Amino acid sequence: MNDQNSGNIAVKRAVLLAGGLGTRLRPITENTPKCLVPIHGKPLLDYWLELLFDGGLERVLINTHWLPEPVGAHVRASPYASRIELVHEPELRGTGGTILANRKFFGDRPFLVAHSDNLTDFDLSAFVAAHVNRPAGVDVTMLTFRSDDPQSCGILELNSQSIVTAFHEKVEDPPGDLANGAVYIFEPSVVAFMEGLGKPVVDLSGEVLPHYLNKILAVKTDGYHRDIGSVESLRRAEVEFTQHLE
């Protein structure tokens, strides 16, 4: 156990990665940014903002790229508007590059990173507590879930302490169904590593996470979790999320 303060004090800021083009969701995303795609009439972004702010976070940074105007208008109308910082990327920086470009926002504290194209209701307090009480030598805590389509996901292998020992990214015959949920808590050392790469565009999955094998704690959610990045997965989420809530 680390000698850090317990509870949500450990993590107060997050970045929601929301700048993607949403090509697999066309034609929906031709006029609607992916983060504003509605599920049961409620934009996906609102599910995220409620989860993060109701879970104890103080500020959230959201990057934009495709159709930034409706995202900005939606955020300005949000009850959380004063606690959100929008950053526009004329050219996408990659999932790690967004973090790197906004490292002053996080300061010298651990922070949460999430891909906003997932519909999820994971327990944020439990996730933060797991990071606070992580084993020595761990720099990243990763949300995981059981996938019903493991060939389309990043599948993980863990040791007896739930530390990630191997990644299998979208392989034909994965060794299980425990998948990367694309929600992380990073220690400041991860940003330092990205700075050391010496370039502005950085990909988390390909360039950062592999460096931290055996230093990533996997925390499985028992809640709902699905990537809604395609028309079919969005359709399934519409049906499943209602059943899950019931």
**pLDDT band at 2; cut points 50, 70, 90:** very low
Statement: residue 7 has pLDDT above 50: no
Range with the poorest average pLDDT among 26-30, 135-139, 145-149, 166-170: 26-30
Mean pLDDT within 85-111: 94
Instruction: Report the pLDDT value the prediction gives residue 114, as an integer from 0 to 100.
Output: 96
157-179 burial, b for 16+ CB within 10 Å, e for fewer? Answer: bbeeebbbeebbeeeeebeeebb
Confidence class for position 9, pLDDT limits 50, 70, 90: low
Return the H-helix or E-strand segment holding 115: strand 111-115
| Cis omega (within 30 of 0) for bond into 43 | no
Q: How many helices (H) and strands (E) does the chain have?
A: 7, 13
Model confidence pLDDT, tens digit, residues 52-74: 999 999 999 999 998 889 999 99
Q: Are 146 and 181 in contact (CB under 8 A)?
A: no
> Backbone dihedral region of 165: left (phi > 0), alpha (psi from -120 to 50 degrees) or beta?
alpha
Return the pLDDT at 98. 95
**Which are the contacts of 18, defined by CB distance < 8 A and separation ≥ 6?**
33, 34, 35, 45, 62, 63, 64, 71, 116
DSSP assignments along 132-185, one per residue: HTPPTT--EEEEEEE-S-GGGSEEEEE-TTSBEEEEEES-SS-S-SEEEEEEEE
What average pLDDT does range 12-20 have in this prediction?
92
Q: What is the pLDDT of residue 4?
A: 40
Q: Is the dihedral of CA 179, 130, 240, 21 positive or negative?
A: negative
Above 90 in pLDDT, residue 88?
yes
Q: What is the pTM of this model?
A: 0.90
At 162, which amino acid appears? S
HSE at residue 122, side-chain half, CA atoms within 13 A, is 27
For residue 4, the 8-state DSSP code is S
Q: What is the mean pLDDT of residues 105-127?
A: 94
Residue 174 confidence (pLDDT) above 90: no
**Does CATH number 3.90.550.10 belong to domain 11-245?**
yes
Can you tell me the distance from the alpha carbon of 104 to that of 28, in angstroms, rounded to the nearest whole number?
35
Of the candidates 8, 63, 66, 12, which has an alpha carbon nearest to the alpha carbon of residue 37? 66
